Amino acid sequence: MKHQLTAIVLGEVPRAIRGQVFQPQGLKSAPHYFESSVPHQVILDEEKIKIDEQEIAISLRGYPHDILLIQATINIPNIFNEQVFDLEDKMFDACYKILKKRGGNEELSEMYSFFVVSEYTGEPEQFFKHGPIIASLLKSERAALDEKEVEYTLGTQIKYGHNDLAIIDWDGAFIFDPEGDVESTIELITLANLQLLRYRILDRRIDEQLEKMSQFMKEPKQKLSMLFHPKHKEITKHLQEIMRYRMAAITAFQTVERDIKLIGDWYSARLYDLAVKKFKINDWRNSIKEKLESVEDVYHTVTEHFGLSLKDRAEFIQIILFFVLQVGWLVLIVLEFLYFTR
């Protein structure tokens, strides 16, 4: 029997992610177009570290254009053990050091653990005798859990064959597969973490831009000031940022919904849907959609508060040019009159 712990950290980095596309093994029960319908990881680098006198490789991958994926895997003698908590902490510490070195923001990151059991015979339910420690590891909770909580945690599961099983929770997933064919399952759950992280980043940035715009709204209303206001460039920049985030979010929503429709009702879609429900991604999506609905109102309110919209500004410029033209004609008439009365 083989026990393996994989820890991942996803975080935004300032440099663009570029590299060779990583191709995982084929996912169980997935359509032939699955590989072309989901975001792909790219291979960046690899680092080796020592944890508890054991050398492990940490792979650095990423999702274009700005999300770094740090993944560490280690073989352990017994995964149903409280000592795994300490090992898990050390692995995450190592991953976050790399993220920080690459300019990542720890606050805007996601970490997740995969507890893998393979090379066994029989059905995976045999390991439910370790239910309390399984539930504790999945929840990153060292304290003893109530029996009903353990039962609830183990109930969030999905099976493909009679001898494999995946249990998914907020902080981790237990994957039982006698063949050890778990790479693509890990990637799919990692995609759900990626989606959650992107929504968190988008939500934060929309909040930041709206907060900046609210500061402008506190200033006294000045009619026609949008053209001449000392903060005209700054206001315009933030308005453009808000609209850019709005368009990025709409595009992201449409892409995700399209990809999930392409996956359909296959095992891959049901596994992904289970992760999405656990991570409460739909709640994040709905929250962002509500904020996006108010973005356009904020845009119109701010432009009205500071005077002129683009259309109004164009009309204002047209009026100014008209008066300039009239003054020009008047000057010509005066010069012509002076010429003939000399």
Band (127; pLDDT cuts 50, 70, 90): very high
Give pLDDT tens digits for 206-221. Answer: 788 777 777 766 655 5
Residue with tokens 């429900």: 277
Tokens linked to 291: 């904020």
What pLDDT, on the 0 to 100 scale, is given for residue 313? 61
Specify the pLDDT at position 285: 83
Would you say residue 5 has pLDDT above 60? Answer: yes
Alpha-carbon span 152 to 291, nearest angstrom: 33
Q: Are strands 67-76 and 165-168 parallel, antiparallel or unpaired?
A: unpaired
Q: Give 240 or 69, the one with higher predicted confidence.
A: 69
Q: Which helix (H) or strand (E) holds 4?
A: strand 2-12
Give the Cα separation of 300 and 242 in Å (integer).
12
Residue 307 has pLDDT above 60, yes or no: no
Q: Which pLDDT value is given to residue 33?
A: 46
Q: Are strands 2-12 and 67-76 parallel, antiparallel or unpaired?
A: antiparallel
Token couple for 149: 């909580």
Cα–Cα distance for residue pair 117/39, rounded to 1 Å: 27
SS3 267: helix
Q: Is the pLDDT of residue 139 over 50?
A: yes
In angstroms, the CA 92 to CA 172 distance is 13
pLDDT at 254: 65
Q: What is the pLDDT of residues 254-299, one digit of tens each?
A: 665 565 555 555 677 788 889 989 999 889 888 887 877 776 676 6
DSSP one-letter code for 7:
E
Whether residue 242 contacts residue 295, with contact meaning beta carbons closer than 8 Å, is answered with: yes
> Minimum mean pLDDT among 87-101, 116-130, 140-154, 190-204: which range?
190-204
- Can you give the pLDDT at residue 279? 92
DSSP state of 173: E
Residue 104: name the closest of 92, 112, 95 by CA: 95
Q: Give pLDDT, residue 223.
A: 47
Specify which residues 69 forms β-bridges with.
Answer: 10, 61
What proportion of the chain, given as a percentage, has pLDDT over 90? 39
SS3 257: helix
Instruction: Name the DSSP letter for residue 222.
Output: -
Model pTM score = 0.79
Q: Look at residue 229 and tell me whether its pLDDT is greater than 60.
A: no
CA–CA distances in Å: residue 134 to residues 79, 128, 160, 288, 302 = 9, 8, 20, 34, 53
- Count how many Cα atoms sit within 13 Å of the Cα of residue 146 in the half-sphere of its side chain: 3
Pick the most confident of 21-35, 154-168, 200-214, 301-315: 154-168
Q: Amino acid identity, residue 144?
A: A
Do 170 and 279 meet the contact criterion of CB atoms below 8 Å apart? yes
